[in-house]
Amino acid sequence: MENETEAAAQVINGQVEAHVISAAEDESKLVRDAVRKLPSHAVKELLSMGVCIRCIFRLIGVSECIYSCTSLSTSALSTALEKGMCLEGDMMDNGLRIQEDSNSQHSSEEPELEPNLCRICLGILQFTYHDGKEMLMKSDCANEFALLIAKVVKQEGHQIDSFSLEVSIPSRVMENEQAVWLYMKRKYNSELWFPEQLHSEFISAKDVLKLSITNPLETLLDIKSSLSSAFRIRLTYTDSAVKIKVQKSTEMKECNKRRKTGADDMDTIGGCVAAGTDHSNSCTGEEYVGRSCNGLHNHDFPDLSQFQLEKVSEPCRLTFLCHRNPVYIGGRYLKYSRNVSQTRWIIDDERMGEASVEEIIGSNILPIFHGDNYKFHAAGREDIDVRMLGSGRPFLLEIQNARHVPSEVSIKEMERKVNNLENKLVKVKNVKVVGSQGWNLMREGEAEKQKQYAALVWISRPLEDDDLKTLSSLEDMPILQKTPIRVLHRRSPLEREKIIHWMRIERIAGSSQYCLLHLCTQAGTYVKEFVHGDLGRTHPSVGSLLGCRAEILQLDVTDVKMDCF
């Protein structure tokens, strides 16, 4: 379906670039040719049923180029059709004319000015809809409609280099077109023009809409449409009548069934019948469709002329949504404070710590991109009272629905903004824009890699030179660590083996019992517990190795060894 759109878009690219007037002439010729080939009696019948011209075209299988005739208005289309049909008027079947007459009364009830909403597409292909403020909007041609969309996109202030168009339409449209198509199949199956359409599916309303507005949008926004574009324009049509229907079926406790049939593949007769039956149960207005669908299923359907589509009084509600896929900013952060948590940490409305790395980085970078929101991811974390120094820790900031595209300038601006904050709690470095694969990169390294720490340690006796040797002689030492008491309330009680890769004691001038312990451990080691032993639950510990009591006063992460960022 998407490929069709693209292929069709390519076919008509040439036209867009051509002169507007000549393009319009080309288009009207295209329409005239298309109309000439139509089976007039079937077209008349469909018109009398209240089917719009674009729906007639797609049901009868007019080639795709016609839908991208953008300058062609609905009224011009209908004029062309009238002309075309009159030329071949004498070919018209008498029976059909009678039927048309019986319906003419119906159509004359509605004044010309009032838009006749298509009973298949509910006005979608007539570019008629209700906007968010319940205003009735009607565009005469695709260009006009595209202009409205382009205006919305521009209002949002997105910097874009391409777009992809997404359309969502109510399932009722599919139900309707299926019912009509089955009816036509039964009635005209034997006629020459029909069989060739039998095997090929007719083009969906969704695709017709896309075909109609893609080109004008490309022109208006001066960018190309691309399926892989990170910027999406989404048109969501919702059936104004559905709300009532669903309510009614809920009352009848058929809500689930109704939903299920709605989601079913409407191409199957069974699905169509089920939906039809449901409607006739829930709403009297639906009875026509219900009966006709049932009738179609039944091979002994007595009177084909009784087929009718339900009148559409309300167009669909249309909502526009412009959305850009997340922009990912990778880098490393440094945390200089022992009172700043990594993520926002609030317990019972009370903030823990004065700020968080997440908020400091996110709130400063988000405005640069004019995004809606941000998400902060980091490769592991440190306790609130542990500083993150040295290499810094890899992080990924996900900016949702960014209006501005990141550039070299904005990267520098981000670093400057965060690093020049008054309080100097957090800094960032190696900041760059990464793809969504940055996520995997970070996650992979998280569990496997080594972490380097510096701990301020006090021991219960004076430090001896042998102690320095004892600890530095140990390489890749396995330790057994029971889940520390401080996290035992929320983590599973387990005994985990971790590796201490190396240790080095740095004496502190002027003190015999204090020292700096530099150590490199496997990711996931609880370093504080490794120093004080956690009531002997981590073994061996610095205390047990030195044969004395060891206490840890502060801890800093000095290196997170990871390839990314």
Point out the residues that are catalytic: 383
Closest separation in Å from C-beta 379 to other proteins: 20
CB of 346 to other proteins, least distance (A): 17
Asked whether position 352 contacts other proteins by CB under 8 A, the answer is: no
Q: What one-character-per-residue DSSP string does 189-246 give?
A: TTSTTSHHHHSSPPPPHHHHHHHHHHHHHHHHHTSEE-TT-SEEEEEEEE-TTHHHHH
Q: Does position 556 bind other proteins by CB under 8 A?
A: yes
Q: How far is the CB of 334 from other proteins (least distance, A)?
A: 8
> Which C-beta is closer to other proteins: that of 320 or that of 458?
458
Stretch touching other proteins by CB under 8 A, among 73-81, 251-259, 302-310, 487-495: 487-495
Pick 319 or 554: Cβ nearer other proteins:
554
For other proteins, the binding residue among 39, 115, 285, 390 (CB under 8 A) is 390
Tell me which DSSP letter residue 484 carries.
P
* Contact flag: residue 387 with other proteins (CB under 8 A): yes
Least separation in angstroms between CB 425 and other proteins: 7
3-state secondary structure at position 450: strand
CB of 220 to other proteins, least distance (A): 46
Min dist. Cβ of residue 547 to other proteins (A): 12
Based on CB atoms, which residue is closest to other proteins, 194 or 458?
Answer: 458
Span near other proteins by CB under 8 A; candidates 75-83, 222-230, 307-315, 334-342: 334-342
**Pairwise CA distance, residues 216 & 35, whole Å:** 23
- How far from the centroid of its chain's Cα atoms is residue 30's Cα? 37
Among 19, 133, 299, 489, contact with other proteins (rule: CB under 8 A): 489
List 99, 126, 143, 337, residue binding other proteins (CB under 8 A): 337
For residue 51 the two structure tokens come to 């089917």
* Footprint (CB under 8 A) of other proteins, residues 409-438: 419, 423-425, 427
Give the Å distances, CA to CA, from 428 to 345, 394, 557, 562.
21, 10, 15, 16
Chain Cα centroid distance, residue 275? 29
The answer to whether 528 contacts other proteins (rule: CB under 8 A) is yes
Task: Give the angle subtended at the CA of 518 by the CAs of 514 and 520, to the nearest 5°.
Answer: 150
Of the residues 458, 470, 474, 524, which one makes contact with other proteins according to CB under 8 A: 458
* Contact residue for other proteins among 138, 260, 338, 404 (CB under 8 A): 338
Examine residue 298 and tell whether it contacts other proteins (CB under 8 A). no
Return the structure tokens found at 7: 């292929």
- The single residue among 491, 504, 561, 563 that binds other proteins, judged by CB under 8 A, is 491
The CA distance from 318 to 327, in Å, is 28
**Given the complex with other proteins, which of 145 and 453 has the nearer CB atom?**
453
Question: Which pair of structure tokens corresponds to residue 229?
Answer: 């574009």
Nearer to other proteins, 188 or 530 (CB): 530
514 lies in the binding site for other proteins (CB under 8 A): yes
Binding residue for other proteins (CB under 8 A) from 147, 246, 488, 548?
488
Q: What is the rounded distance in angstroms from the CA atom of residue 35 to the CA atom of residue 78?
A: 10
Binds other proteins by CB under 8 A, chosen from 249, 521, 533, 565: 533
Q: According to CB under 8 A, which one of 77, 358, 534, 546 is a site residue for other proteins?
A: 534
- Contact by Cβ (8 Å): 460, 490: no
Q: Beta-carbon neighbour count of residue 266 at 10 Å?
A: 20
Per CB under 8 A, 509 contacts other proteins:
yes
Report residue 295 as tokens: 């009738």
CA dist 475 to 291, 462, 528, 529, 543, Å? Answer: 82, 24, 19, 19, 17
| 536 binds other proteins, rule: CB under 8 A | yes
State which residue, 41 or 335, has the beta carbon closest to other proteins: 335
Q: With H, G, I as helix, E, B as strand and everything else as coil, classify residue 355.
A: strand
Residue 452 gets the label, from left (phi > 0), alpha (psi -120 to 50) or beta, of beta
The structure tokens 């009784």 sit at: 306
Instruction: Specify the residue, 340 or 379, whose C-beta has the smaller distance to other proteins.
Output: 340
Check residue 382 for interaction with other proteins (CB under 8 A).
Answer: no
Q: From the CB of 462, what's the least distance to other proteins, in Å?
A: 13
Residue 350 binding other proteins, by CB under 8 A: no
* # residues contacting other proteins (CB under 8 A): 48
Which pair of tokens denotes residue 428? 């960032």
Closer by beta carbon to other proteins, 14 or else 510: 510
Q: Residue 506 forms beta bridges with which residues?
A: 516
Long-range contacts of 152-159 (CB under 8 A, 24+ apart): 152/320, 152/322, 153/221, 153/233, 153/322, 154/221, 156/322, 156/403, 157/370, 157/403, 158/231, 158/322, 158/324, 158/403, 159/403, 159/404, 159/405
Q: How far is the CB of 387 from other proteins (least distance, A)?
A: 7
Per CB under 8 A, does 486 bind other proteins?
Answer: yes
Segment interacting with other proteins (CB under 8 A) among 129-137, 204-212, 264-272, 530-538: 530-538
Contact 414, 428 (CB under 8 A): yes
Can you give the binding site for other proteins, defined by CB under 8 A? 334, 336-339, 385, 387, 389-390, 419, 423-425, 427, 454, 456, 458, 482, 485-494, 506, 508-511, 514, 516, 528, 532-536, 549, 551-554, 556, 558
